[in-house]
Amino acid sequence: MQKRKNVVVLGSINADIILKLARLPKPGETMKLQGFETAGGGKGANQAIAAARSSSEVHFVGRVGADAYGKMMCELLQKDGINIEHIKTDANNPTGQAYILLQDSGENSILVNSGANVFIQEEDVKDARYLIEKADVIVAQFEVPINRIIEAFKMARAAGVSTILNPAPATKVPDKLLELTDLITPNEVEAEMLTDIHVDNPISQRNAARMLQAKGVKNVILTLGSEGAYYLTENNQEQAVPAFKVKAIDTTGAGDTFIGCLAAKLNPNFDNISQAVHYANKASSLTVQKIGAIPSIPTEKEVTRR
């Protein structure tokens, strides 16, 4: 039986306000909503819950506002057994919010008010040093300040803890952060932002991955949506792992499910990377068949069920 992983997530916590509509409105057009829901979200929270539901011990480092959304999100995380001791309440800034425009096609567009997520302080990371140093892996994304990620990854690297960087939303990344990253997991858009290579075929996938390695990253997994994923390891192992073909109802949280499940299942030496990516792909395929981010993330039992 695989050892239960100890995962630290340094990340964002948002309340998702889901607006259901037939299609995106044209400029100047007024449309009626087909429905409205509020659910838990934020890339960090989604990834933490995905890892927890895949049998990991998860600790969270982040911030919420002193408001109803913050209380709701802390309760949601605790419900999945996530340690929230290092989620601090910010009296001056609201809990992050994401407004998700969900179309009939299952595609979504998202508007984010970052709130307390971007006010994570250096002392927040320092206070969590002991958690980071005893973890198996730390996961971070770009809905929190990059400087805080660098600080946390330095602690992890010094302690021999694996680092996973989900470079989303897409932005330029300092080389010093890439050099502290054991595994980076960009999608096609993020990969192009990082490498200036348009990723649309196997050759461009390999070229983008090799460029990321040249910048200091040890291992690369490109997430390719309905096409699955491609990985390249520091030992030059590579493989395209196909996605599971399903009818997508809502793609919100699919990428985060992949990252969280990957963190839960990937061995520190990456010797099971093919199996871990396969598992994460299957989990993502289950996520897109339900509405919302956190409500749609599957459990390990659901993923492994035949």
Give binding residues for substrate as ranges: 14-16, 42-46, 143, 256
Instruction: Give the sign of the dihedral formed by CA 237, CA 239, CA 244, CA 250.
Output: positive
DSSP per residue, 101-129:
EEETTS-EEEEEE-GGGGG--HHHHHHTH
Positions at the binding site for K(+): 250, 252, 287, 290, 292, 296
The answer to whether the peptide bond before residue 268 is cis (omega within 30 degrees of 0) is: no
What are the C-alpha distances in Å from 257 to residues 49, 69, 72?
A: 8, 22, 20
Cβ atoms of 259 and 185 closer than 8 Å: yes
Positions at the binding site: 14-16, 42-46, 143, 187, 223-228, 250, 252, 255-256, 281, 287, 290, 292, 296
- CB count within 10 Å of CB 222 equals 25
CA dihedral 118, 175, 224, 276 (to 10 degrees): -90
| Per annotation, catalytic residue among 67, 136, 256, 271 | 256
Cα atoms in the Cβ-side hemisphere of radius 13 Å centred on 176: 8
Beta bridge partners of 211: none
User: Whose structure tokens read 């299957």?
Assistant: 282
Catalytic site residue 256?
yes
Residue numbers annotated as active site:
256
